[in-house]
Amino acid sequence: MAKKLVSVLRGTPSWPPPLWLMRQAGRYLAEYRALRARAGDFITLCTTPDLAAEVTLQPVRRFGMDGAILFSDILILPWALGYGLRFADGEGPVLPRWQPEDTAGLDLRRLEGALAPVMEAIARVRAGLGEDTALIGFAGAPFTVACYMIEGGGSKDHARTRAVAYREPRDFENLLAVLTEATITSLSLQIEAGAEAVMLFDSWAGVLPPSLFRHYVANPAARIKSALGKQFPEVPVIGFPRLAGGQLGLYAAISGVDAVGMDTATDPALAAALVAAPVALQGNLDPVALLAGGAPMIAEVRRILAALRGRAHVFNLGHGILPETPPAHVAELIALVRSGGETA
């Protein structure tokens, strides 16, 4: 019998909905901060199996979520392909600024060996989970990973990436093609190692106009879903085209994903109208509402639950947990969702 989270991701409604939270393993937890200090640097934390497994399991032990998501980073993929990556204190990720000739140096043959520690972490997590908790693997979507490579790190508007997409479409498509195949390989390895569902994070999908969104966001997602579906038909794929707004329906229809993540700005009722059932919906409490806790959080949770009752829905945030969030608020949220929005 499928675990509740997996069953809902495959399109079967359940009440109350299952729950997990983006960035549920992270800086808001004292136990994470202690382990992070022990690791020394972020890449070491992601690629040391016992450390990555422990971080993944920490929030599940403390709160009992329905899903555990592998602790890693979307930029581990270009790192595994041989592309430079470091995490600078106070800056976030720093990468070489991509040039068209760099694509030829991305070596797909490196992936299995470079990602072996990540797969070992997945196996350890799966062995440490209870029988009701599903393990979620993930990857960054090709467009979003390309954004970080082309910009050399984070960006407010990804203007350089968009300029490349307009001015050098063939070079941009070549980069996305390599990243798409690398993503298929990474997610396939994660499933083979024990992931029971996988999620595709397209964090910057919404910076593109509709004319480019279909080509550079929805089509690569369709290629990834098709490849995974042929090899692992029982494993649901969650797509998260953040900031996509009214294009959620287009994304769901073209990509063929089993579930669509909603960001904070998305109206759940509108998403339910745009995305045809049985595709599941996931989200979308504002992380700041979780930070606030109390009455504001309760009201938002009830609004989301009411909008999606009767629909296959996985309760989550619209983005990741903020580092300053009190753990007590997370416990309060989980109790509230599991009561169907009722308070004691």
The one catalytic residue in 10, 23, 126, 311 is 23
- The CA distance from 19 to 41, in Å, is 30
Non-local (6+) Cβ contacts of 70 within 8 A are 52, 56, 118, 121, 122, 125, 135, 136, 137, 138, 190, 195
Q: Under a CB-based contact definition with an 8 Å cutoff, are residues 57 and 125 in contact?
A: yes
Helix (H) or strand (E) holding 199: strand 197-202
The one catalytic residue in 61, 62, 73, 110 is 73
The verdict on whether 73 is a catalytic residue reads: yes
Q: What is the DSSP letter of 66?
A: S
> How many CB atoms are located within 10 Å of the residue 166 CB?
12
DSSP state string for 124-186: HHHHHS-TTPEEEEEEE-HHHHHHHHHHTB--SS-HHHHHHHHH-HHHHHHHHHHHHHHHHHH
- The CA distance from 136 to 122, in Å, is 9
DSSP state string for 239-273: EEETT-GGGHHHHHHHH--SEEE--TTS-HHHHHH
> How many CB atoms are located within 10 Å of the residue 181 CB?
17
Q: What share of the chain is helix, strand, coil (3-state, %, to 5)?
A: 55, 10, 35
The one catalytic residue in 36, 126, 162, 223 is 36
The verdict on whether 27 is a catalytic residue reads: yes
The verdict on whether 10 is a catalytic residue reads: no
Non-local (6+) Cβ contacts of 312 within 8 A are 8, 9, 10, 11, 12, 13, 14, 259, 277, 278, 279, 280, 281
The one catalytic residue in 83, 148, 216, 251 is 148
Q: Under a CB-based contact definition with an 8 Å cutoff, are residues 284 and 304 in contact?
A: yes
Active-site amino acid positions: 23, 27, 36, 73, 148
